[in-house]
Amino acid sequence: MRGSAGQVPYAVPSGAFAAPGPPVADTPVDSVRRTAVLVAGAGAVFGVFVLVLTAPDRYADSTTTLFSGAVGGLYLGAGLLARLRRPRNAVGLLMLLVGIGWFAEDLQISTHPAVHTVGLFLKSASSGFLIPLLLVFPDGRLRDRTEHGAAAAVVDRALLVAGCTAAFVLVPIGALFYPSRVANLALVHPVRWQQPVVDAVQLAVSAAVVAVLVWRWLAATVPARRGLVPLIAVGVVGGLASGLDALFGSAARSHDELLDVAHVSVLLLPVAFLAGVSRVRLGRTAVAELLRRMPLGSRAQLRDELARTLGDRSLHIGFPAPDGVGYVDTEGRPLVVAGGRAVSSLERDGRRVGVLVHDPALREDRYVLEAVVSAAALELDNQRLTAEVRAQLAELRDSRRRIIEAGDEQRQKVERDLHDGAQQRFVVLELQLRLARQRLAARERPDPELARLLEEASGLLERGHAELRVVARGIHPAVLHEAGLVPALRSLAVGLPLPVDIRADDLPELPGPVALTAYYVVRQAVTNVLQHAAAGSVGVELAHADGVLRVSVTDDGVGGADPGAGTGLLGLRHRVAAYDGELTVRSRPGEGTVVSATLPTAVPPATARSGSPSAGEGGAR
């Protein structure tokens, strides 16, 4: 009868997808998988044979044929699945052996003396494999001193030796002295005090199993605990039931109830394992959700999303350091990997773009971890490409600004040259003509024809001087630097054939390039109104808020303007864009035209060197 012979407690993992441990053998993966299929098939055939053999004459108080077949079959199925998914991990092989050992234990239930005698030697076979299964879960290897400490390493190895010795040495030896209810053909001499010794060993091993389970739970990280939940719940209950049964003995009234609890726990162990498979499937759903949320805005956001997807709050991403030596975290600090942490390389097209430092328990499902690693590498590479494109765009804007400002400086130089050169000569010539006219008028008999010629020459000279001033102002508005943007716009509106209403709030001191760009926007918009809009009036509005200058020019003309038809507004759009601004044109037929521009006033230092309009640059002639 199961449980009465002092079986050793058990433990089965709740997830099969641990990171590969040291290879079980140096055979190829395909060969290991084929062997697993053969072992599972042989175990199934053996199980059917045992169940058929023992079905007619099982003990009345033993487990049923259906229950035994369900438990052994579940172990074989779960072990085969684990072995196929993790051929280098010993967990799957041990589960297959547990299933075969479970069927072998059923031989002791037979009432046939020969079969029963063989079963007595194998009555703890499944427990002999369950102890190693517990100890190597989830990565297929025992805890070592480096990662888990000397105490954990010693306890694991001691419990492994004790469990295997009890199941494969003490139990077979005890069969030689065990007077069972069915004839024991191998009985040498009956030993009546053997059962108390077996109960004591069962109690000790059960207590050790429960202690190790609780220890591993307390020492586990959050990701590792998620995988251990079904194992701990089922294993602790089964271990306690087995230990209490050994403590109270088979004569106690609670004997049957404790055996029922132990049997149910045995059945639930492979079920708990398969529940771990379902949990892994949910993990893949989380990966799909991560991919849906990409691209992400920053490296810190990527770290948070990866931590949430993998359920590891301690996760860190390492980025290549600027000097090319080592890695830095999201805050730019040198990345230090603590002991007991796992590191996965983030590679894209054969080039390492970073590293992922995470809990080793995440390697339980290699597929989910690899999917997250690939997604992280893709996102980092995309962020790198985005940063490169942004750098190129920034360089393009800086280059455009330099070209624009170089042109502005040249136009300002031409305007100054005209003012200091040609305009000064016009002024001198006007004075000389005025002096000539005065001297001619002072004569007793002035020549009327000469006076008329001097008058006409003076008029032509005055008109030429005025036209030169207009040309000079068109080349570069000197009044902008002398008085500021609003006075410059009012000066622009003087003499126009239609009224221009200029409204401006209290504008702060503006950088020179921003003020000059705003001036050109208004001048070009007003020029277009005069040439094409047939408008009756023009309104100009300027406002500054939140570090942005907003300029708007509105007319009541015919509308229908095409911003791409001419080069004036197109050139202005490029100029505005060079200073991170935006130029828009809204023009519906019959509703007039609105030209609007927004210009950030926080101009980079390299472009603000020309000063602000109120700084008086260009004011000294």
What confidence category does residue 35 fall into, taking pLDDT thresholds of 50, 70 and 90? very high
If you write DSSP's letter for every residue of 228-243 in order, what string do you get?
HHHHHHHHHHHHHHHH
pLDDT of residue 509: 87
Task: List b or e across 251-277, with b for residues whose CB sees 16 or more CB atoms inside 10 angstroms.
Answer: eeeebeebbebbbebbbbbbbbbbbbb
* 247, pLDDT greater than 70: no
Distance CA 588, CA 559 (A): 5
Structure tokens at 394: 């920034």
* pLDDT tens sequence across 103-134: 998 888 888 889 889 989 998 898 889 888 87
The DSSP letter of residue 170 is I
- Which residues neighbour 148 within 8 Å (Cβ) at sequence distance 6 or greater? 219, 340
| 481 residue type, one letter | H
Distance CA 242, CA 147 (A): 31
pLDDT of residue 46: 95
pLDDT of residue 538: 92
What three-state secondary structure class fits 354?
strand
- Which residues neighbour 21 within 8 Å (Cβ) at sequence distance 6 or greater? 88, 89, 90, 136, 139, 140, 141
Distance CA 379, CA 305 (A): 11
* 210, pLDDT greater than 70: yes
Distance CA 160, CA 149 (A): 17
pLDDT of residue 212: 82
Distance CA 491, CA 139 (A): 82
383 CB neighbour count, 10 Å cutoff: 19
- From the list 113, 154, 110, 131, the residue with the least C-alpha distance to 7 is 131
- Give the length of the chain: 621
If you write DSSP's letter for every residue of 279-334 in order, what string do you get?
HHHHHHHHHHHHHHH-S-S-HHHHHHHHHHHHT-TT-EEEEE-TTSSSEE-TTSPB
* pLDDT tens sequence across 269-301: 777 766 655 555 555 667 777 777 777 778 888
**In the chain, count of helices (H) and strands (E)?**
19, 9
β-bridge mates for residue 357, sequence order: 316, 343
Look at 166 and 412; give whichever has higher pLDDT: 166
- Which residues neighbour 342 within 8 Å (Cβ) at sequence distance 6 or greater? 19, 357, 358, 359, 360, 362, 363
* pLDDT tens sequence across 219-246: 777 777 766 776 676 677 776 666 666 6
Write phi, then psi, for 555 (nearest 5 degrees).
-130, 165
Write phi, then psi, for 351 (nearest 5 degrees).
-120, 130
Contacts by 422-431, CB closer than 8 A, 24 or more apart: 422/468, 423/465, 423/468, 423/469, 423/472, 426/461, 426/464, 426/465, 426/468, 427/465, 429/461, 430/458, 430/461, 430/462, 430/465
Distance CA 125, CA 20 (A): 26
| 344 residue type, one letter | S
- Which residues neighbour 251 within 8 Å (Cβ) at sequence distance 6 or greater? none
Distance CA 252, CA 386 (A): 74
* pLDDT tens sequence across 541-568: 999 998 999 999 999 888 877 776 665 7
β-bridge mates for residue 587, sequence order: 593
- From the list 524, 505, 526, 517, the residue with the least C-alpha distance to 600 is 517
pLDDT over 70, % of the chain: 78
